[in-house]
Amino acid sequence: MSEYKLDNVVRANRLRETYGDDIVLFEDDDAEGERVHKIVLEFDLGDRSYVVLRPEDAADDADDETSVFRVTPAGEGEFEIETIEDDEEWENVSELVDEMTISFSKE
């Protein structure tokens, strides 16, 4: 996708509507090491969806603890949260999140 522009962003709420304000992420496959995250921001960009999450136990001034993930449908109203593996996509989306944060704080 070549259009990583603020004008192309559509805010979304599908995860919040489905799961509430909190998402539990597991650090491994056997359900140990789970960590609750707060949904900070959800948005669509073209045919992809993204979410910004922040650990529930993060310090209030720890902006570096937020993480950006891709959201994909998993069927029957469920969603999967995936790590963005492509470095270029991750960089572009992260920069866009920074722009949105600045833009939204001015509203």
Buried b (16+ CB within 10 A) or exposed e, 15-42: beeeeeeebeeeeeeeeeeeeebebebb
For residues 42 and 54, is the Cβ–Cβ distance under 8 A? no
Kindly report, residue by residue over 36-71, the tens digit of the pLDDT.
Answer: 999 999 999 999 999 999 998 887 665 568 899 999
Q: Residue 3's pLDDT is what?
A: 81
Q: What is the mean pLDDT of the chain?
A: 86
The helix, strand and coil proportions of the chain, stated in percent and rounded to the nearest 5, come to: 30, 40, 30
Q: Residue 48's pLDDT is what?
A: 95
Neighbours of 53 (CB within 10 A): 23
